[in-house]
Chains A and B, each alone.
Chain A
Amino acid sequence: MSKYLVNLKINNMPISVEEGTTILEAAKMLNFKIPTLCNHPDLTVAGNCRVCVVEVKGARLLAASCATPVSEGMEVFTNSEKVRISRKHIVELLLSEHNADCTKCFKNGHCELQDLSSEYRIGDHVFLDMVKEESKIQDISSPSIIKDDSKCIRCQRCVRTCTELQGVSALAVVKKGDHQKISTFLNKPLHEVVCTNCGQCINRCPTGALTERNYIEEVWNAIYDPSKFVVVQTAPATRVALGEDLGIPVGQRVTGKMVAALKKLGINKVLDTDFTADLTIMEEGTELLTRLKRALVDKDETVVLPMMTSCSPGWIKFQEHMYPELLDNLSTCKSPQQMFGAVAKTYYADKINIKAQDMIVVSIMPCVAKKFECERPEMRDSGYQDVDYVLTTRELAMMIKQAGIDFDKLNDEHYDSILGESSGAAVIFGATGGVMEAALRTAYEIVTGREVPFTNLNIKPVRGMEGIKEASIKIKNVKPEWSFLEGVELNVAIAHGLANARQLMEKVKSGEAAYHFIEIMGCPGGCLGGGGQPIPTSPEIRKKRAEAIYSEDADMPIRKSHENPEVVEIYKDFLTEPLGHKSHDLLHTHYKPRKRY
């Protein structure tokens, strides 16, 4: 159905746009910038902050441009006297109920409210201070997230994120009038409610009201401590986003610069989570094939299918709260970050002759849920906390800035060895569908002895930003030992963002769809859209990061996890075989049901 064109004028410039376009969007097309706060490209329209008001000729009221569709003959002014005065008042009002101690604020320099107030030169505004004392008590109960109500402007972006994108609704708007605020069920601390620690709310909070719990100082201290040997692992998605916080355009890969920067910071060994991503594929792929064998050959009725991926700690906690009855569907594999920690403090520590207790494992992650994950009591299989600190991509960018490193000018460097080698299959873990693709590349080859039947190994059907993707692969001409899989149609599904995950789980529960394997990533777009990635985020930004990931994969000499030589070596030297005894001890875990209500 073609849409009508609507003619209007903005600041006297004519434009024709499709019916249903908002004034804000139309103004953008003409390059008129209108400030916004509550509006976000990932979320439904709220229209509550009112900073985007514009004047429409003949109208009694100003219009919220983000929420008002254009109409024929409309004449809009984005910077009239009325508009300017109102906008300034609104920013002043927001600041009057805001604990604006910017110098102490984690978001200092990255804050939409701060930007706006500096744009409008709001110095000593006249209004009375309305900050409530009790709002200054921060919620620091979560190992991942800090919530500071005194910095909240009630734009409700977090609430919409948690509800619309994540289907969790841990956050809600509560009370009304001057008591209205963003809170949880009965105002309980975050760690007592269904929050998954995904951090998506942080990514969309325009101010410092929601931030990650940061461990920058702890990591500096470890670096400076001569008795500590600091090992860093970097997650796949960090290398396609870190640059955004350091003045490099969106979508540019900075793998080599990131490694160089980490070395400059004084990290002893810079290693790669991609290595354990490959290891994950070996373990998880074998687990899948084993489950299929038990189901198809042994007719074992206790086997639980579909198997579901377990790399995303936000997703894991979601499942523990929302679908505890489906916990056995989860792969028992730890996430690559935790596999890394466990291997680093055992196998690797031995190899390089460092005592595990002297080793500090730091993760650079696109994720804030990983901060929670590393503190889970199950994650101490080395005898110590396997991963000591998790930094977000954003925190790493801050450290690089603190160290005075001119990031753009750095020459590329290589990861240290061992535990630094990886494959293209590991890199694509960072995008939705990536784990699936990586698993298929390996599993198909194990079973048939041939490469997956897709051009350049690119399994296109599992890629892309659709909320839920489904694909089937027919397995033919298998090796004799896998004869039970001959002719089997392998059904897989992929979801990213927990709201989509919820939909998929409902399908699984209702038995409506018979899948063998499901990949879920807690964050929209997968880890590349993780809660720890540079802010802002939008569908466009995530698309560019995904493109970067797939081109990184294409450029890698090794594209399949089972061909990673260090992976081959660790099985030979240490683990013996996937799902073997050692693997079981170090690389696998279990889950615990949590309360949904």
Chain B
Amino acid sequence: MEKTLKKVDIIFEIDDKQSPLSILEKTIKRSPDEIILDLIDSGLKGRGGAGFPTGLKWKFARNEDSETKYIICNADEGEPGTFKDREIIDRVPDKILTGMAICGYVVGAKEGFIYLRGEYNFLLKNLQKRVDDYNLGMKKLNFDFTIAIKSGSGAYVCGEESALFESMEGKRGEPRNKPPYPTVAGYNSKPTVINNVETLVYTSMICRMGPEQFKALGTSDSRGSKVFSVSGDTPISGIYELELGMPLNDFVNEFGDGDTKAVQVGGASGHCVPRKKFNDTIIGFEGIPTGGSMMIFNSSRSMYNVLHDYLEFFTEESCGQCTPCRVGCQQLLKGIEAVKRGERPPAYLDDLKKLTGTMKIAAKCGLGQSVGNPFNSIIDNFREEIIY
């Protein structure tokens, strides 16, 4: 099923006839199990990066036996090159709140929280107002669910779900051991559904339009569409909702500046794809999955600088608790510097690549596990740029 680039308008579409609150009103007339079936049927996978099937996640949480459960909207958006959640929060906040409320209905939670990164504090005032209005709306529907906002304070790793819970509990944002998973023990050790901003909007849209229309988009592995954050060397940087499953080549043709040398798919923790692989690379879970960040580099850019920037980012933003990540990131960063300066031979890069192998399987959380993605894909494709 070869897809081509297609722009879609689901997330930001404003439907004058049907407010998000009325979607909630309509949806809670159905049974939770029906809603879960629809979500599973839609094939929706999480848009926060890990790509876990959303319907299943809700089902697990629903199956937990607990008085208290929580719904959390992950709005910590810290992945370099990603800015779509900010735009969604700014433009269609009620759709997010609807997704949260439906989720609360489905799993049996009475409280929801939006964890908004500190860098987005300027959104707070307006968002708080929308949340207040929405809470009022739910009250009028006699629907027992309340949403509140929690703020982050500048720590990328707090986007990792268990670190986010720690942070909400007033602690250092250090990721926890898994299992237990959030649906069993999340915030305050209670069953918790945590979803990305965009995922929640899609759930409310699927509830509005049914799974079929969503399923019709994308491929069998990657259903539907997704919002992309396009930046770098492009004349038309910005936010675009695109059908999943397109070849990267299409994307570059649409967004590149004619001189594209590489695209970093999935942000700093994603993969760098060089020009010669544009044709064979599918954007989706079967190819390279992405939380939506697409950074385009043209031939004037030094890939050494790109990698150096990423590694600096991870070195600073690692929570620091586990050995492979805390020390590994420093070794990678200082390692490429040493090779660049000629203090280590080029073959040292291969030692470092092996090290990323360990980081990938032995680090405690997704941060340390994914540092090898940019490292290996840049070293493999632009080795000379790193050495000379």
Interface of A toward B, CB cutoff 8 Å: 45-51, 53, 60-62, 64, 67-69, 82, 85-86, 89-90, 93-94, 96-97, 126-128, 130, 153-154, 156, 173, 175-180
A62 partner residues in chain B, CB cutoff 8 A? 361-362
Smallest Cβ distance from A115 to chain B, in angstroms? Answer: 16
B315 within 8 A of A: yes
Q: Of the listed stretches B58-66, B191-199, B229-237, B323-331, name the one at the interface; the rest are far from the partner chain.
A: B323-331
Q: Do residues A178 and B177 form an inter-chain contact, with CB atoms below 8 A?
A: no
Q: Do residues B358 and A128 form an inter-chain contact, with CB atoms below 8 A?
A: no
Known: A50-B363, A89-B355, A179-B320. A97 touches B327 (CB 8 A): yes
Give the distance in Å from the alpha carbon of A566 to the alpha carbon of B292 in the complex.
83
Smallest Cβ distance from B145 to chain A, in angstroms? Answer: 33
Known: A61-B369, A128-B335, A177-B315. A154 touches B321 (CB 8 A): yes
B149 within 8 A of A: no
Q: Do residues A178 and B361 form an inter-chain contact, with CB atoms below 8 A?
A: no
Give the distance in Å from the alpha carbon of A463 to the alpha carbon of B350 in the complex.
60
Q: Of all chain B residues, which has the CB nearest A71?
A: B179
B329 partner residues in chain A, CB cutoff 8 A? 177-178
A93 partner residues in chain B, CB cutoff 8 A? 323-324, 327-328, 331, 355
Q: Do residues A128 and B327 form an inter-chain contact, with CB atoms below 8 A?
A: no
B358 partner residues in chain A, CB cutoff 8 A? 85-86, 89-90
Known: A177-B317, A178-B329. A48 touches B323 (CB 8 A): yes
Q: Do residues B177 and A180 form an inter-chain contact, with CB atoms below 8 A?
A: no
Q: Of all chain B residues, which has the CB nearest A55?
A: B361
B351 within 8 A of A: yes
Give the distance in Å from the alpha carbon of A519 to the alpha carbon of B327 in the complex.
45
Q: Mark B303-319, 1 if CB is under 8 A from A, else 0.
A: 00000000000011111
B334 within 8 A of A: yes
B274 within 8 A of A: no
A127 partner residues in chain B, CB cutoff 8 A? 331, 335, 355
Give the distance in Å from the alpha carbon of A448 to the alpha carbon of B317 in the complex.
69
**19 more A-B contacts (CB under 8 A) besides A85-B358, A94-B327?**
A45-B177, A47-B177, A50-B323, A60-B361, A62-B361, A67-B177, A68-B179, A86-B358, A93-B355, A130-B327, A156-B321, A176-B319, A176-B320, A177-B315, A177-B319, A177-B329, A178-B318, A178-B320, A180-B319
B348 partner residues in chain A, CB cutoff 8 A? 126
Q: Do residues A85 and B354 form an inter-chain contact, with CB atoms below 8 A?
A: yes
B78 partner residues in chain A, CB cutoff 8 A? none
Known: A45-B177, A64-B364, A85-B354. A130 touches B321 (CB 8 A): no
Q: Which label, helix, strand, loop or mixed, suits the secondary structure of the A interface?
A: loop
8 Å CB contact of A86 from B155, B319, B361, B364: B361
- Rank and list the top 8 A-B pairs by shortest CB-CB distance, nearest first: A180-B320, A93-B327, A67-B177, A89-B358, A48-B321, A47-B177, A86-B358, A86-B362
Give the distance in Å from the alpha carbon of A64 to the alpha carbon of B326 in the complex.
16
B131 within 8 A of A: no
B364 partner residues in chain A, CB cutoff 8 A? 47-48, 50, 64
Give the distance in Å from the alpha carbon of A178 to the alpha carbon of B348 in the complex.
22
Q: Do residues B327 and A175 form an inter-chain contact, with CB atoms below 8 A?
A: no
Q: Do residues B172 and A90 form an inter-chain contact, with CB atoms below 8 A?
A: no
Give the distance in Å from the alpha carbon of A593 to the alpha carbon of B344 in the complex.
57
Q: Do residues B321 and A180 form an inter-chain contact, with CB atoms below 8 A?
A: yes
Known: A50-B364, A86-B358. A94 touches B323 (CB 8 A): yes
Q: Do residues A89 and B172 form an inter-chain contact, with CB atoms below 8 A?
A: no
B346 within 8 A of A: no
**Which of the listed residues B348, B361, B364 has the most CB atoms from chain A within 10 Å of its own CB?**
B361
A126 partner residues in chain B, CB cutoff 8 A? 348, 351
Q: Do residues A173 and B172 form an inter-chain contact, with CB atoms below 8 A?
A: yes
A156 partner residues in chain B, CB cutoff 8 A? 321
Give the distance in Å from the alpha carbon of A156 to the alpha carbon of B354 in the complex.
27
A97 partner residues in chain B, CB cutoff 8 A? 327, 330
Known: A47-B364, A49-B322, A86-B362. A176 touches B327 (CB 8 A): no
B357 within 8 A of A: yes
B338 within 8 A of A: yes
Q: Of all chain A residues, which has the CB nearest B172?
A: A173
Give the distance in Å from the alpha carbon of A85 to the alpha carbon of B327 in the complex.
16
15 contacts between A and B (CB under 8 A): A60-B361, A69-B179, A82-B361, A85-B358, A86-B362, A93-B323, A94-B327, A128-B344, A154-B326, A173-B172, A176-B155, A176-B320, A177-B319, A178-B330, A180-B321
Give the distance in Å from the alpha carbon of A446 to the alpha carbon of B172 in the complex.
55
Give the distance in Å from the alpha carbon of A46 to the alpha carbon of B329 in the complex.
21
A177 partner residues in chain B, CB cutoff 8 A? 315-320, 326, 329
**Which of the listed residues A67, A69, A85, A176 has the most CB atoms from chain B within 10 Å of its own CB?**
A176
**Which of the listed residues B179, B331, B344 has the most CB atoms from chain A within 10 Å of its own CB?**
B331
Q: Do residues B322 and A48 form an inter-chain contact, with CB atoms below 8 A?
A: yes
B321 partner residues in chain A, CB cutoff 8 A? 46, 48, 154, 156, 173, 180
Q: Do residues A176 and B361 form an inter-chain contact, with CB atoms below 8 A?
A: no
